[in-house]
Amino acid sequence: MRKAPFLAASSVALGIGLLAMPGIASADTGNSYQAQLAPLNHSTASGTFMLTLNGSQATITEHVDGLAATFGGKPYPHVQHIHIGAQGNCPTASADKDGDGVVSTTEGAGNYGGIGTTLSTSGDTSPAAGTTLTVAPSGASFDYKRTITLDDKTLAALKGGTGVVVVHGLDPATLSAKAQAAKSDLVPALPLAATSPALCGALTTSQMSMPSGAAATGGGSTAGLQDEGLIAGGAALVAAGAVAGGLALRRRSSTAR
Amino acid sequence: MSQDEQRGPSPRPVARLRLVAAAVLLVLVGAAVIVVALTHQRHAPQPPASAAGTPAASSAPGIPAGSGAAGKTRTAPAPAVAPLPRATPVHLDVPAIGVSSDLLQLGLNPDHTLEVPPLSRDSKAGWYRGSPTPGELGPSVFLGHVDSAEYGAGVFFRLGKLRPGDTVTVRRTDHTAATFRVTRVASYPKNRFPTLEVYGNTDDAELRLITCGGAFDSSARSYLNNIVVYASLVGSRAG
């Protein structure tokens, strides 16, 4: 028992030591990661990405705006992944080695690495589903929310700070003539625009265990009409007065008879 | 008439008089009660319209709505102050709106939304224990009710009245009092709540004070907006 103050002091010291590390999660629900998605390749899109881990279960909430809207008359499929295994950051225009004005997925790999997890709308989330357009979220803007199991490699990348979210699919009209004519470096049957990165964001540990959305901090007693009881009581008094007055008048008329 | 008076000498006119007097009194008291009730309607203050809606709009400096203190309503860039060591908060003071509240600790609901303080007569604010402690690097999250259906105005009833420059002080278990300055006040529709902007990482020690606001949806028994006050650490002292 005599050791207790010493233990307390050392745990305070430990607490201060931990402070130096970014994003200690004192969470009861696991660690959160976040990424601000920034445009690449003349895209004007933007997005936010949040991921909360519970063991190897990742609950992902993502919102994007301003992507290419249609592809061949249909909603544009935007394949998206957590890339892993490289520097854990996003490329700049200098990564465009062939000078066609587009940082292709392959050209950016030096920064963000290869596919660790495919952020598909259903089914397979492995790298094998990386270019399956039928399970890609689509359209100019979308909300993506899914709970998936992450493999050990992606988990390690998150913890090591080398996970990067990349959303693919450019509007061909924004590209040079040469790039518009080029084939995809990943799927030769597709144009280069279809698989090139449009949004990119490095995943960082959140400073808090991220809650989802809004808070229910109101019960509504000060909204609308208040003190309804008092008003009803007042109305009852007025009504009683009216009845009493009516009675008095009736008596008078009966006595006047 | 004379027959009546002979049968019952005077009680009837007196009773009639009493009844009339009672009737008049009842009507007057009833009307007074209604007037009192209607003049005591209380509604939570809301941030100015310039603070509503999109993140872009909320970060723009607001035009003061008829207030004399023009400088105060602008977005006040708080000087960067080194973060404090971790220490649990125990008490919250927001002098500008008369808030002085001991603090509860809040977690997450099973659906990952923030737990809110229990509805009680003694409405307290709470600190979300999954967020940094106030003064630590990052956004430290505090919640309070604007009101409750049963008990009326809550601890954060006047939160929407705060303006940039107002101060917030949090006492912590290590006997320090951390002082924050409000940098902006925003109102967000709950169905378009900018989660990452409110709860995302920051470069300094910040606070988020959150309550409900906007219109009340009586069918859902819920307000449609959240009011979020952003504040940054400006100093600390032993206390």
What's the confidence (pLDDT) of residue B223? 84
| Residues 6+ positions from B34 with CB-CB distance below 8 Å | A230, A231, A234, A235, A238
pTM, entire model = 0.73
Mean pLDDT confidence for A167-173: 95
Closest to B16 in 3D by CA, of A181, A163, A247: A247
**Burial status of residue B189 (CB atoms within 10 A of its CB: 0-12, 13-18, 19 or more):** middle
The minimum CA-CA distance between A120 and chain B, rounded to whole Å, is: 22
Over 50: is that where the pLDDT of A41 sits? yes
Q: State whether B148 and A221 contact (CB < 8 Å).
A: yes
Residue in chain B nearest A63 by alpha carbon:
B194
- On whether the CB atoms of residues A51 and A59 are closer than 8 A, the answer is yes
Name the residue range of residue A87's domain.
Answer: 35-192
Q: What span, in angstroms and rounded, lies between the C-alpha atoms of A160 and A158? A: 5
Over 50: is that where the pLDDT of B64 sits? no
* Element at A246 (helix H, strand E): helix A228-256
* Chain A neighbors of B36, CB-CB under 8 A: 230, 234
What's the confidence (pLDDT) of residue A25? 37
Helix and strand numbers, DSSP H then E, in chain B: 4, 10
- On whether the CB atoms of residues A167 and A130 are closer than 8 A, the answer is no
Q: Which residue has the higher pLDDT, A256 or B216?
A: B216
Segment 16-75 of chain A within 8 Å of chain B by CB: 16, 18-19, 22-29, 34, 36, 48, 50, 52, 59, 61
Question: Would you say the C-alpha torsion B42, B47, B50, B53 has a positive or negative sign?
Answer: negative
- On whether the CB atoms of residues B9 and A228 are closer than 8 A, the answer is no
Residue with tokens 């008329």: A253
Q: What span, in angstroms and rounded, lies between the C-alpha atoms of B63 and B23? A: 54
Task: Given the cut 0.85, state whether the ipTM is greater than it.
Answer: no
Helix and strand numbers, DSSP H then E, in chain A: 6, 11
Task: Quote the distance between the C-alpha of residue B94 and its chain's center.
Answer: 11
pLDDT band at A251 (very low <50, low <70, confident <90, very high): low
The reply to whether A18 falls in a domain is no
CA angle B123, B185, B199 (to 5 degrees): 80
Rg of the Cα atoms in chain B: 26
DSSP A135: G
Mean pLDDT confidence for B90-102: 95
**Burial status of residue A187 (CB atoms within 10 A of its CB: 0-12, 13-18, 19 or more):** middle
Residues A194-213 have pLDDT tens digits of 999 999 999 999 999 989 87
* Element at A49 (helix H, strand E): strand A46-54
Residues B161-189 have pLDDT tens digits of 999 999 999 999 999 999 999 999 999 99
* Element at A17 (helix H, strand E): helix A4-19
* Chain A neighbors of B190, CB-CB under 8 A: 213-214
In the CATH scheme, what architecture does the domain B49-238 have? Beta Barrel (2.40)
Rg of the Cα atoms in chain A: 31
Residue in chain B nearest A54 by alpha carbon:
B112
* Chain A neighbors of B107, CB-CB under 8 A: 28
Strand partners, B216: B223
Cα dihedral B159, B162, B164, B167 in deg (nearest 10): -90
Residues A66-106 have pLDDT tens digits of 999 998 889 999 999 999 999 999 999 999 999 899 999 99
The reply to whether A26 falls in a domain is no
Residue in chain B nearest A24 by alpha carbon:
B132
* Cα–Cα distances in angstroms (integers) from residue A164 to residues A22, A159, B112, B117, B205, in the given order: 18, 12, 24, 37, 26
Q: Which residue has the higher pLDDT, B217 or A205?
A: A205
* Element at A250 (helix H, strand E): helix A228-256
Mean pLDDT confidence for A236-241: 82
* Closest Cβ opposite residue A208 in set B22, B141, B157: B141
User: Number of folded domains in chain A?
Assistant: 1
* Cα–Cα distances in angstroms (integers) from residue A230 to residues A226, A227, A239, B23, B29, in the given order: 9, 5, 14, 19, 12
Give the residue from B33, B142, B188, B229 with the most A CB atoms within 10 Å of its CB, the best one to mutate.
B33
Q: What span, in angstroms and rounded, lies between the C-alpha atoms of A181 and A102? A: 12
Q: Are strands B138-143 and B205-217 parallel, antiparallel or unpaired?
A: parallel
Segment 171-230 of chain A within 8 Å of chain B by CB: 204, 206-227, 230
Closest to B139 in 3D by CA, of B177, B83, B94, B92: B83
CB atoms near residue A102 (< 10 Å): 27
The reply to whether A46 falls in a domain is yes
What's the confidence (pLDDT) of residue B185? 96
Q: What span, in angstroms and rounded, lies between the C-alpha atoms of A136 and A187? A: 15
Phi, psi of B226 (to 5 degrees): -115, 135
Region of poorest pLDDT, from A12-16, A109-113, A183-187, B224-228: A12-16
The reply to whether A187 falls in a domain is yes
Q: Where along chain B do its domains lie?
A: 2-39, 49-238
